[in-house]
Amino acid sequence: MLTVDNTKAWLERFADKIETNKAYLSELDSVIGDGDHGNNMARGVKAMKEKLSEEDYAQPEEVLKDASMALLSKIGGASGPLYGSALLAMSKQAGQDSADLHAIIKAGLEGITKRGKAEVGEKTMVDVWSPVVEHLAEGTVTIEDVQDSVEATKELKASKGRASYLGERSLGELDPGAVSSGFLFEAMIEGEIIDE
C-alpha cells in the first residue's frame, strides 16, 4: 500500500541510487548510446528531491505527480518523457486505489509503452518493468528478480531508441534505461512497500 511517507522515501532512495551510480549509468550508455544517461537521470532526480522536500502532501498520488513533472522537465532526452509518463500514470492509478501496487506499476508500464511504443524484448526499460508487473501479479517481487531482468537485457538486441543503430553490436551489453529502472524497483523493495 502506498502512503505519502513510503512513496517519498521510495523516490528519495531511488534518487540516491541514481546519484551514487551516475558515472556507472553514463559509462553503460557510452557503450551503446551517447554516454549521458547517468548525468541526465541525476539532473532529474535532483530536481525531484528538491520538489518533494518543499511540499507537504496529503496523498501519495500527489507525491507521484510532482515527481513525474520534475523528471519530465529535467531529464530531457527519451528518458524524461518515459519516466515522466510512467510516474504520471502511476499517480492517476494511485488516486483510484493506493493499496493495489500491482495495478499502480502496471499503469506505469502502460504509460511507458504508450509513449515509447516499445514492446518486451526490444532491450529497453520495458524489459524490467514488464517482469516486475508479472511478479507482482503473482504476489511479490524480489531484488533478485529485478536484477535477473536487468541482467537479461544483455542478451537482447536493441530495436528501439538510439542503441538500435548498433544492431548486433548491442548484444552483450546492459541497457542503461533497464539498469536505472532496476534501481527504482530495488528502492521500492527495500522500502518495504509491497504488502506480504
**CA-based nearest residue to 129, from 178, 87, 174:** 178
Three-state secondary structure call for residue 196: coil
48 binds other proteins (CB under 8 A): no
Instruction: Dig out the grid coordinates for 141 from the structure.
Output: 517481487
Question: Please, what is the minimum distance in Å from the beta carbon of residue 135 to other proteins?
Answer: 27
Only one of the segments 48-56, 67-75, 92-100, 188-196 lies at the binding site for other proteins (rule: CB under 8 A); that segment is: 67-75
Structural contact between residues 12 and 5, judged by C-beta atoms closer than 8 angstroms: no
Nearer to other proteins, 72 or 126 (CB): 72
**CA-based nearest residue to 37, from 134, 169, 178:** 178
CA dihedral in degrees (108, 21, 39, 54; nearest 10)? Answer: 60
Only one of the segments 7-15, 33-41, 96-104, 182-190 lies at the binding site for other proteins (rule: CB under 8 A); that segment is: 33-41
The CA distance from 70 to 64, in Å, is: 10
Which positions ≥6 away from 133 have C-beta within 8 Å? Answer: 102, 105, 106, 109
Instruction: Dig out the grid coordinates for 150 from the structure.
Output: 536487468
51 binds other proteins (CB under 8 A): no
Cell 505527480, residue located = 65
Nearer to other proteins, 126 or 189 (CB): 126
Nearer to other proteins, 15 or 70 (CB): 70
**CA-based nearest residue to 104, from 71, 133, 131, 143:** 133
Residues in 76-105 at the binding interface with other proteins, rule: CB under 8 A: 76-82, 84
68 binds other proteins (CB under 8 A): no
Binding-residue total with other proteins (CB under 8 A): 31
**CA-based nearest residue to 161, from 90, 91, 77, 53:** 77
46 binds other proteins (CB under 8 A): no
Question: Please, what is the minimum distance in Å from the beta carbon of residue 79 to other proteins?
Answer: 8
116 binds other proteins (CB under 8 A): yes
Residues in 120-179 at the binding interface with other proteins, rule: CB under 8 A: 159-162, 164-167, 169
Which residues contact other proteins (rule: CB under 8 A)?
26, 30, 34-36, 39-40, 43, 72-82, 84, 115-116, 159-162, 164-167, 169
